Amino acid sequence: MLAPWVFDSLRGGGMRADTHWIAADSLTYRALGVRAGNRGIHLEGPRDSLPTCPGSSNATNSALAVSTGYRIEVSFHVDVVGHLIASGRVGCRFIYSGAPPGPRSGFSEGVALELVKESGGWRVVKVIDRWIT
């Protein structure tokens, strides 16, 4: 249920044809690995470091000639009234005009969805939150 949001909608850090998708942890890797493959996307195994954002630029404002991508994290919890809440978040580090990343260069975008199980599958009841830094 989160795959369309994570891979198609959360792209505020830019997009390139060679964008790497990196799981933040084993839960994310297990939850999205097959769905990523079904979309023709290779989801890399978990790691902690943030990749460079696809929309980063060099000193001449051209695309960087380095590997870029997003670190993805998903989580699930039940709220106080018993609704299942699924959250997805992507993150990366921006480099603007070739300047080294500073302490505030981190980028993050996410969504929180209320889900309900119907007929053996999950359906989004509503978008609870959507944010971008």
pLDDT value of residue 101: 63
- For the chain, the domains span 3-132
Share of the chain above pLDDT 70, in %: 95
The two three-digit tokens of residue 99, written as one number: 């300047």
Tell me what the mean pLDDT of segment 113-128 comes to. Answer: 89
Range name among 1-5, 23-27, 78-82 with the lowest pLDDT average: 1-5
| CA 2/CA 113 separation, integer angstroms | 8
Contacts of 94 (CB under 8 A, 6+ apart): 13, 52, 53, 55, 56, 101, 105, 106, 107
CB 1 within 8 A of CB 115: yes
| pTM, to two decimals | 0.84
| Residue-wise pLDDT tens digits, 48-80 | 888 988 988 877 877 777 888 999 999 999 989
| CA 74/CA 3 separation, integer angstroms | 10
Residue 102: pLDDT over 70: no
